[in-house]
Amino acid sequence: MSEPGLYVGMISGTSRDGVDAALVSFPGGRPELLEALCLPYPAAVADELERLSRAGLRPRDAETAPLDEALATHFAETARLLLQRAGVGPGAVRAIGSHGQTVWHEPEGPDPRSIQLGDPGRIARLTGIVTVGDFRSADIAAGGQGAPLAPLLHRALFRPDQGRRVVLNLGGIANISVIDRSGHVTGFDTGPANCLLDAWVRERRGEPLDDAGRWAAGGAIDAGLLKAMLADGYFGKAPPKSTGTEHFNLAWINAHAEVHGLDPADVQCTLAELTAVTVRDAIVPTGPGDVLVCGGGVHNDHLLSRIRAHLPGLPVRSTARAGLDPDWVEAVLFAWLARERLAQRPQDTRGVTGAHNPVLLGTIEGP
């Protein structure tokens, strides 16, 4: 039996290409995806996000205020189009969970902060729907990394019948959730996934992504470049840990002297191998029985083939095999988190983000 009310979940990830939105019901408490769409950013918004990313500095609030408003307007329009497509009125939706667009993630240091733009209060006013946003601040205030949050939903949806299971999210950044049959979950960001691949293909070919990984597949792995990249301190750091495009970006690629003089396709191939190797190094010690994959990287055939090559004998399958389309797992996550927040249920992120205690994730904004 379905509980009354629907939820909308929205996120724009580290690829910064648009807003993913999902309309979700919760029959028996389990999320069911009813409708989904991705609304690309207008060129002006995408250009401003790219400018902020290239700056490599924590943005000031005054600097981001116009973009915060523009993003909120785009998120609200995404929700409107989603409901229109589903034939659902705003009154049927109990809440929107909006992650927003991350423009800075710095969970450690003297002033830890994770900045997501797309003002949830403005979304609530424009849609007339209660909106839950700012999901990371409370976790950081409790001593956590604020990320990744996906393991919370993965635990609810993908618990194995026996042994351990890993859920691998291949977004701009790759992260894993390690779940056992009792429901205990740990997880962390393993490092870059699509963010470096997208940055390099945009720079060298003017294309938004490497379709199916074909460009990378036509190149060759450069052992020297791979070794230099794997020497980055993030990979040897013990969890809990999280990262973002503040660290892994085009400037990071170009900072490696080995890049210069290489065929660009070989660099792309090596970047894919970097993701495959760091994913392997994160997964193998956990001893899972299988791996479920979600996120945009599921469409990169070359990347998946390299991950499978590094995990011989281990089933690596899409989350679709477990009942949820891999493209919409993160959008569903924020619908689920909005429901959890309205129910006043604290989330125990201690094994994932390193928070000192369970916390309520998200702030509630009325229309």
Predicted confidence (pLDDT) at residue 292 exceeds the cutoff of 70: yes
Which pLDDT does position 362 carry in this prediction?
Answer: 98
Asked if 281 and 347 sit in the same domain, the reply is: no
Predicted confidence (pLDDT) at residue 214 exceeds the cutoff of 80: yes
% of the chain with per-residue pLDDT over 70: 99
Asked if 231 and 140 sit in the same domain, the reply is: no
Write out the DSSP string of 126-171: HHTS-EEE--SHHHHHTT------HHHHHHHH---SSSEEEEEEES
What's 308's domain CATH number?
3.30.420.40
Asked if 170 and 202 sit in the same domain, the reply is: yes
Per-residue pLDDT tens over the stretch 242-290: 999 999 999 999 999 999 999 999 999 999 999 999 999 999 999 999 9
Per-residue pLDDT tens over the stretch 121-154: 999 999 999 999 999 999 999 999 999 999 999 9
Flag whether 55 is in a domain.
yes
Write out the residue range of the structural domain in which residue 210 sits.
159-314
- Please, which contacts does 234-240 make with residues 24 or more away whose CB atoms are closer than 8 Å? 234/191, 235/191, 235/278, 235/281, 239/186, 239/187, 239/188, 239/354, 240/144, 240/145, 240/188, 240/352, 240/353, 240/354
How many domains, in total, are found in the chain? 2
Strand 164-170: give its sheet, edge to edge.
Answer: 185-192, 173-180, 164-170, 290-294, 316-318
Average pLDDT taken over every residue of the chain: 95
Structural domain ending residue among the three candidates 289, 314, 339: 314
Asked if 193 and 130 sit in the same domain, the reply is: no
Predicted confidence (pLDDT) at residue 1 exceeds the cutoff of 70: no
Asked if 241 and 341 sit in the same domain, the reply is: no
Which pLDDT does position 2 carry in this prediction?
Answer: 53
Per-residue pLDDT tens over the stretch 49-90: 988 887 778 988 888 999 999 999 999 999 999 999 999 999
Evaluate if pTM is beyond 0.75: yes
Asked if 175 and 247 sit in the same domain, the reply is: yes
Structural domain ending residue among the three candidates 271, 293, 314: 314
Asked if 81 and 119 sit in the same domain, the reply is: yes
Flag whether 322 is in a domain.
no
Mean pLDDT, residues 24-49: 95
Confidence of residue 112 (pLDDT cuts 50, 70, 90): very high
Flag whether 277 is in a domain.
yes
Flag whether 319 is in a domain.
no
270-289 as b/e, with b when 16 or more CB fall inside 10 Å?
Answer: bbbbbbbbbbbebbeebebe
% of the chain with per-residue pLDDT over 90: 92
Confidence of residue 210 (pLDDT cuts 50, 70, 90): very high
Q: Which two tokens stand for residue 281?
A: 């190094």
Question: Which ranges constitute the DSSP H helices of 145-263?
Answer: 150-157, 194-205, 214-217, 223-230, 233-236, 250-254
Flag whether 153 is in a domain.
no
Q: Which two tokens stand for residue 22?
A: 């999902």
Which pLDDT does position 23 carry in this prediction?
Answer: 98
Asked if 118 and 235 sit in the same domain, the reply is: no
Flag whether 1 is in a domain.
no
Flag whether 152 is in a domain.
no
Flag whether 151 is in a domain.
no
Predicted confidence (pLDDT) at residue 294 exceeds the cutoff of 80: yes
Confidence of residue 12 (pLDDT cuts 50, 70, 90): very high
